[in-house]
Amino acid sequence: MSGRLKLVIDIDRCWGCYACEVACKQEHDLPAGLNPIRVIQVGPRNFGGKIHMAFIPVLCQHCYQPECIERCLEKAIFRTADGAIMVDANKCLGCGVCVAHCPYGAIDVDKVSGTAVKCDLCVERRARGQVPSCVQHCIGNGIHVVDEERVDSLCQGRSFWETGAVLYLSTEWIELGKHFNTHKGRKA
């Protein structure tokens, strides 16, 4: 056990039902408009004569090289031993520099409390021995928290994508990716 967490999201299992979004808002008692996890619909679009549609839950990736931590003027963003990146609400001034620099749009400022809000992998629930709320309530059973050491076995034979503690898994999109190269931002 490395003790570091990995949030594994299986894109093939996402129904696009938005349960994770509401679960997150309830758990963190957030007003409407703030979505630390948001399901994005891709498609439906015609690729190679067949129509496709996918749903992708986007949330803080808990990056290995996090811009938000580096840019934060108040040093209010920190990483815990298990790999989750968190905002210290006592230090945060809500200036929004992290919002501007997050490449995933996964951090936003709560205009009421005036602090940055993002996924903390449900630190409170984990302290009580529960899994994060999105993990428990996913209708497609597509989000899992696993120890980092188990990740390699999960990825076998499947396409995966990660820049941090969140790992996206898919089987069906490997073939499809060939049709998709509309964004040239990243290299294989």
Partner 1 sequence: MSPARGEKRCSRCGREHFISGPDGSLCPACRQEVFSWRLIGDNPRPVDPSEREMFFRDKPKEFLGQPQPLKEIWPRDLRVVRSCCFSCNCCCEVLVYVDDTGQVVKVEGDPDSPVTGGVLCSKGLAAKKLLTSPRRIPYPMVKRGSRASGNWDRVSWDEALDLIASKLIDLKDRYGPESIAFLEGTRRGWSRVFSRLANSLGAVNAGAPGWAQCLWPRLITSRVTFGSELMEVPDYPNSKCILVWGKNPPATYPIHAREIMAARARGAVIITVDPVFSKTAAKSDLWLQLRPGTDTALALGMAKVIIEEGLYDEDFVRSWTVGFDKLAARLGGYSLDEISKITWVPKELIQEAARVYALSRPASVSQGVTLDQTSNPIQTCRSLAILVAITGNVDVPGGNIVPSRRGEVSRNAHSFIRAESVPRKLLEKRLGYKEYPLLCGELAPVPSVHMPSLWRAVITEEPYPIRGALIFGSNVLVSYANSSMVEQALKKLEFIAVADVFMTPTADLADIIFPASSWLERNNVISSFQTSREYTLVQQAATRMGEARSDFEIIFDLGKRLGIGEYFWETEKDFLDHILEPVGLTFDEFTCLKRLHVPVKYRSYLKEGFKTPSGKVELYSSVLEKNGLDPLPSYHEPFQSPLETPGLAEEFPLVLTTGGRVPVFRHSEFRHIDWLRERCPFPIVQMHPATAKQLGIKPGTEVVVETPTGSVNGIADVTEGIHPSVVQVTPGWWGRGNINKIVQNEWCAPGIGTTPMRGLLCRVSRVKRPVLLDEWEGLG
C-beta separation of 60 from 132 below 8 A: no
Cβ of residue 43: shortest distance to partner 1, in angstroms?
A: 8
The residues in 153-182 that bind partner 1, with binding defined as CB under 8 A, are 159-163, 168, 170, 173-174, 176-177, 180-182
- Choice from 7, 8, 49, 51 touching partner 1 (CB under 8 A): 51
3 binds partner 1 (CB under 8 A): no
- Min dist CB 42 to partner 1, Å, is 5
**108 vs 145, which CB is nearer to partner 1?**
108
Size of the site for partner 1 (CB under 8 A): 89
State which of positions 127-146 bind partner 1 (CB under 8 A).
Answer: 127-128, 133, 136-142
Cβ–Cβ under 8 Å, residues 93 and 114: yes
Asked if 94 touches partner 1 (CB under 8 A), the answer is yes
H-helix or E-strand spanning residue 59: strand 50-59
Backbone CA torsion sign across 59, 120, 133, 81: positive
Cα–Cα distances (Å) from 61 to 39, 43, 49, 154, in that order, read 14, 23, 33, 18
Q: Three-class SS of residue 181?
A: coil
CB 150 to partner 1: min, Å: 14
